Structure 1
Amino acid sequence: MKTKATLLIGTAVLALESCETKNYTEEDRITVTTNLENYVDSVESAVQMVPVHNWSLIDERYDSLDSRAEKVYNDLKVEDDNLEMIEERYETAVKNGKAQAENFERTADMHMNNVETWWDKTTADVEKGTKNTAEDIEDATQESLDWLEKNFDKLSDDTKKKYEEVTMKLQKD
């Protein structure tokens, strides 16, 4: 009787295991890996082109793709260092992107401060009766204005607003 029960339990376990089908295929694994690699490629490219990003959205999308890939890999019981390498690339891209963004913001602030300092100084002259003209702009200030204009689309909204205010006042004078 004991042997019969053991055989029945063994048969049931074997039947359950043989009925257990994988949800994913090797093609799914290749697809999720490719999707994750392509996303990291796009993040690496984006941080080189534009310094300001919404990192929470970028992280959210990466986490979604990574989670899907991990499900497929776990289901297929496949260990692949490729996912770890992709994650390292992603973390490096984010780290570099954030560092570039901080550097860009420091540079933008420096140029905006230069323009604002010049503007404050020359505005005092205007009150004394001296008119500001575009020809009166010092070389360093013109360099800052040129840099801000060139990088306008990449500037923070606050810096864009300040730049527009100064340039509008300069055009009026």
Structure 2
Amino acid sequence: MKTKVNLIIGAAVATVALYSCETKNYTEQDRVEVTSNLENYVDSVENAVKIVPVHNWSVIDERFDSLENRAEKVYDDLKVEDDNLEMIEERYETVVKNAKAESENFERTAEMHMNNVETWWDKTSSDIEKGTKNTAEDLEETTQESLDWLEKNFDKLGDETKKKYEEISMKLSKD
């Protein structure tokens, strides 16, 4: 009889332990970790957009969504309020919104400088046919400012603008 009671109690304990394992897959440490991972990712995005204004937002958003979904699973499993997640998501959305606006501004500025250089080049390259060379010494002040800005921000430029800048720079250095 004692053996049967022990078996029944053991089976009940095992069932409760198994049930609790199935419903509580995560620990408080997991919650802290997923929250930290999400915060660190937002920090890294925020820092990256300060360095380089142009990014592949679909890849960045996919990674954020993946981290956020994992965090939501942990929070839901632990039945914890997700105020932290909402604050992190709001911060992320603000970072992305500001970064996209900054990126658009950077692209407009790059386009303005490139247009200035191309306009100057188109205007003065016709002089080559007349035997006049285009040299760095012939640059107008605003064109030089544009070339300087483009050179300074070269690594941040889009591929098409980089190509145009390199072509004109090489032609200037040859002449």
Q: What is the TM-score of this pair, normalised by structure 2?
A: 0.88
How many Å apart are 1:59 and its aligned residue? 0.3
| Aligned structure 1 segments of 4 or more residues deviating by more than 4 angstroms | 15-18
Give the % identical residues.
78
Secondary structure, counterpart of 2:160 in structure 1: helix
In the alignment, does 2:145 pair up with 1:149?
no
Report the number of matched residues. 160
Aligned to 2:5: none
In the alignment, does 2:145 pair up with 1:138?
no
In the alignment, does 2:135 pair up with 1:98?
no
Aligned to 2:52: 50
Distance 1:150 1:167 in 2: 13
Distance 1:57 1:39 in 2: 13
Distance 1:117 1:18 in 2: 74
Aligned to 2:8: none
Secondary structure, counterpart of 2:54 in structure 1: coil
Q: What is the TM-score of this pair, normalised by structure 1?
A: 0.89
How many Å apart are 1:80 and its aligned residue? 2.5
Aligned to 2:130: 128
Distance 2:168 2:143 in 1: 12
Aligned to 1:8: none
Distance 2:118 2:35 in 1: 49
1:96 aligned partner, one-letter code: N
How many Å apart are 1:20 and its aligned residue? 3.1
1:151 aligned partner, one-letter code: N
**How big is each residue's C-alpha offset from its partner over 1:68-92, in whole Å with a ceiling of 9 and x where there is no partner?**
0000000001113110000000000
Distance 1:69 1:50 in 2: 28
Aligned to 2:33: 31
**How big is each residue's C-alpha offset from its partner over 1:16-74, in whole Å with a ceiling of 9 and x where there is no partner?**
79823210000000000000000001111111111011101100100000000000000
Aligned to 1:78: 80
**How big is each residue's C-alpha offset from its partner over 1:146-166, in whole Å with a ceiling of 9 and x where there is no partner?**
000000000000000000000
Aligned to 2:169: 167
Aligned to 2:117: 115
Aligned to 1:9: none
1:39 aligned partner, one-letter code: Y
2:135 aligned partner, one-letter code: T
Q: Give 5+ residue unaligned stretches, structure 2.
A: 1-11
Aligned to 1:20: 20
Distance 2:133 2:35 in 1: 63
Q: Give 5+ residue unaligned stretches, structure 1.
A: 1-11
Backbone CA RMSD of aligned residues:
1.5
- After TM superposition, the structure 1 stretch with the greater mean CA deviation from structure 2, 60-69 or 40-49, is 40-49
